[in-house]
Structure 1
């Protein structure tokens, strides 16, 4: 039993005629008769009683007709859905971003670049960078945006498009460094520094850079991501070395009410982001378009603040 036989059978049931079914399907009468005969042979059942030119369906045919309609209607829906996915007209988009970007700039971008009609479902998840790597590795998202961390020898089933950009020194607007056009690590010697949690590699990297400059790294406030540090900086509790997207977000939201100043470093401190794509999850046309648009938007945002973004390891496959 195959799809063509079921299609012919349904048409014969609906028209009650071999000749009419042949006209509807654009086939010859012998071809329709043969399809019915082969279907009866495959099922080892008599589906129609022939009375002259009339075909009288058996009880088994009535049951098969209901089942055949369900199967063929479902096949038709699947076919239309796949065509819609190819043309980006329907389907779903499941994406994730790390805290910070997921607060504003990532949802803002998505809202401007996703389908808005009822046939499309968009899900945005905020997760830690480690969780996003796990989601990408288990093929659970279309793509994710996270801090880039090199793999630790464990097999990862995703590719990473890595973007590097310059960090900024964030200081209170009344701080003595606020009037400088450029700062150095040495300028932050013994200053209270707000940074990320100790389990993040960035504070360790900062401590190393301070050590190289014979400067004291004094961390007094730590957060899961940079944005929660902005109120502390604005009130003069600390300075910080922040990633460039925090600068973009603060300029959009003005959390500090203009009480935080961002200054570039004389020797750039680079921050690494990664857009992660599962290696084995089929990507719809729309998901691909949105990811490509995100990479373009990311570059534009980073260029607008003179963070000098560069791409490294495009489609870098970790597997």
Structure 2
């Protein structure tokens, strides 16, 4: 059995939203015959009538109403994916693991990152208080994203910057 495609679903949704194939075409920025073809192909694939002609317009069938509920769920999911991508792109979500000397991880760094977290409420920030050799090991093995250790760092493959 052939599979439905996203353009067919988009045409169905646009027609349900606007109540008209012509308006659905305008919404999709395609021609009215293109939307009609997409709807016809979708109905053939699903083996069900989605719209009935009444006068000059289309009326959704009970099957169309039931299908529309599922289509809207998928579009909400797509909108959530888009929003998540925007959050990730803006670095406002995700996780950040910071390994540091206990004196830093237990007091100074959490206070320092307060404003950073207010601007990124969906960011999960974790501090780990460990000694410098472990900080270096964790950074090298991707067990943390950022490390604060005592200098000197005795590893040439690890970029470092002196802070004070």
TM-score over 0.5 for the pair: yes
- CA distance in structure 2 between the aligned counterparts of 1:63 and 1:5, rounded to whole angstroms: 16
Q: Which of structures 1 and 2 has the bigger CA Rg? A: 1
Structure ranking higher on relative contact order (CA contacts 8 Å, 6+ apart): 1
2:105 pairs, out of 102, 107, 114, with 102
Gaps of 5+ in 1: 130-145, 150-159, 163-272, 280-286
TM-superposition CA deviations, 1:64-120 (whole Å, max 9, x none): 1111111112101211211221122x31324253661422243244336x3423643
More strand by share: 1
Any gaps of 5 or more consecutive residues in structure 2? Answer: 160-164
In the aligned structure 2, how far is the partner of 1:6 from the partner of 1:19?
16
TM-score by length of 2: 0.74
Aligned residues: 155
For residue 75 of structure 1, what is the aligned residue in structure 2?
78
Aligned to 2:162: none
Q: Contact 2:11 / 2:39 at 8 angstroms: preserved in 1?
A: yes
Change (3 A) 1:99 1:314: closer
- Find out whether 1:148 has 2:133 as its counterpart: yes
Q: 3-state SS of the aligned residue for 1:314?
A: coil
Aligned counterpart for 1:275 among listed residues 119, 132, 139: 139
Please name the residue that 1:12 is paired with.
Answer: 15
Matches within 5 A, 1:59-208: 59-88=62-91, 90-97=92-99, 100=102, 101-111=104-114, 114-117=116-119, 119-126=121-128, 147-148=132-133, 162=136
TM-score (norm 1): 0.41
Match of 1:32 among 26, 30, 35: 35
More helix by share: 2
